[in-house]
Amino acid sequence: MNSVIAEVPVEDRAQGVEIGDGKNLPTQKTLGVTWNAETDTFNFEVKLPTNSPPTKRNVLSCIASLFDPLQFLAPFTMRARLLMQEIWAAGVDWDDVLPTKLENKWNDWLSELQEIQTISFPRCLRLSHPTDIQLHVFSDASSAAYAAAAYLVCKYPDHPPTSRLVGSKCRVSPVKAMTIPRLELMGAVVATRLAKNLTRVLNVGSVTFWVDSTNVLYWVRNQSRNFKAFVANRVGEIQRSTNPDQWRHIPGESNPADLPTRGLSASQLSRCQTWTEGPEFLKEDESTWPEKLPGDPTAKNEEREQRKGDTNPEKLTDRLVPDNYSSLSRLLRATAWIRRFLTNCKLPKEQRMNGDALGQNEIYNAETYWIRRAQIEAFPSGGKDKSFCPQTDEADFALKQTKLGSYE
């Protein structure tokens, strides 16, 4: 390393970088991350707060001072970001001292902050003359956060394969509750964007995406227009940047992207080889990778749009709800207009009922409908007087709602 620095003209050297005596090489701090030239690793310097009260302002200032642009420390820093979300949700003002419960969480995280200085990440991603360069991107989500992590895997003719963490992207889950499958889909979108940015600067032969959610796999392998807007928009973005064949399934316990969503202590992060190098199978032959799941796109369709003719009797709900009307007359008139519309839809144009006013018979039929409806709800099993409360199942009753004329 000294020989390399010696070849750089003095006027082109960064300020503070000196050749030294050949034994102890210098370190250079760039954007808050320290590069140790001797070990060729990235390290992190931490500034601990000095006797400052635990207010929201000081907590945010301390979190922001730990600059980690590639999010190498995501499993550790995510805990602080989740704490910050709790502080906002608790309504704490900027200069108010945190409640006891939140203060204890903050002190626990702060006590581990100094250990971050002992954690290092290799700067070099690959050795010389690799025969194959692969980018593997993992994504996962929990109720608290969703994340993606990228690893560069290189294979050599005369050296064991290497796997290095390139970077990660993590997001705190929205305050508004969302289902885990949707959060996992958002994690897949983050993985797609991360891979898109990395492939612009890295020369890779192939890109593989890994998720432990079967829902995401089936969504990605299907047509986006078949789903509701939330899923369709995100699946469309994924399909514009990737090929469905690039997506594979990984068991949850082997997914490194799961670590930021759960959080790790500083000591756990320093010992976690899965986070720094990814799963062990990345260094092995592709035949040893987790098997691909069947490509059946219809197995998971809980977000599929309901099409015409697709009816589920258990999910049918009445469009007319009496509680939504202020008076009986309003309910009867609305029912009569709907019945007229349904009747006209079945008749030729010359036989349709027209006019801006409802007939007395139409109001009577609407009233009869609601009376019989009340009878069926009050006596679902029927009574001795069959003419008073006929035994009619819901499917037959729904059919009668659309029939012409009064009920018999």
User: Is there a domain that residue 236 lies in?
Assistant: yes
Residue 347's pLDDT is 87
Q: Report the pLDDT averaged over residues 346-367.
A: 87
- Picking from 55, 86, 118, the residue at the C-terminal end of a domain is 118
Could you tell me if 32 and 160 lie in one domain? Answer: no
Q: Is 90 exceeded by the pLDDT of residue 100?
A: yes
Residue 353's pLDDT is 86
User: Is there a domain that residue 74 lies in?
Assistant: yes
Residue 316's pLDDT is 39
Model confidence band, residue 376 (pLDDT cutoffs 50, 70, 90): confident
> What is the span of the domain harbouring residue 334?
324-349+356-401
Could you tell me if 163 and 279 lie in one domain? Answer: yes
Model confidence band, residue 204 (pLDDT cutoffs 50, 70, 90): very high
Q: Is 80 exceeded by the pLDDT of residue 24?
A: no
Could you tell me if 95 and 145 lie in one domain? Answer: no
Q: What is the pLDDT of residues 28-49, one digit of tens each?
A: 666 678 888 878 899 998 877 7
Could you tell me if 140 and 71 lie in one domain? Answer: no
Could you tell me if 46 and 88 lie in one domain? Answer: yes
Could you tell me if 63 and 128 lie in one domain? Answer: no
Could you tell me if 278 and 256 lie in one domain? Answer: yes
Residue 394's pLDDT is 43
- Picking from 53, 83, 118, the residue at the C-terminal end of a domain is 118
Q: Of 166-170, 292-296, 346-350, which one has max mean pLDDT? A: 166-170
**Mean pLDDT estimate for the chain:** 84
User: Is there a domain that residue 337 lies in?
Assistant: yes
User: Is there a domain that residue 298 lies in?
Assistant: no
pTM for this prediction: 0.70
Could you tell me if 250 and 343 lie in one domain? Answer: no
Q: What is the pLDDT of residues 113-171, one digit of tens each?
A: 989 989 999 999 998 889 999 999 999 999 999 999 999 999 999 999 999 999 999 99
Could you tell me if 237 and 328 lie in one domain? Answer: no
Number of separate domains in the chain: 3
Could you tell me if 243 and 176 lie in one domain? Answer: yes
- Which of the residue ranges 152-161, 325-334, 347-356, 391-400 would you say has the lowest mean pLDDT? 391-400
- Picking from 71, 86, 118, the residue at the C-terminal end of a domain is 118
User: Is there a domain that residue 12 lies in?
Assistant: no
Q: Give the domain CATH number at 251.
A: 3.10.20.370
Q: Is 50 exceeded by the pLDDT of residue 308?
A: no
How many other CB atoms are found less than 10 A from the CB of residue 59? 24
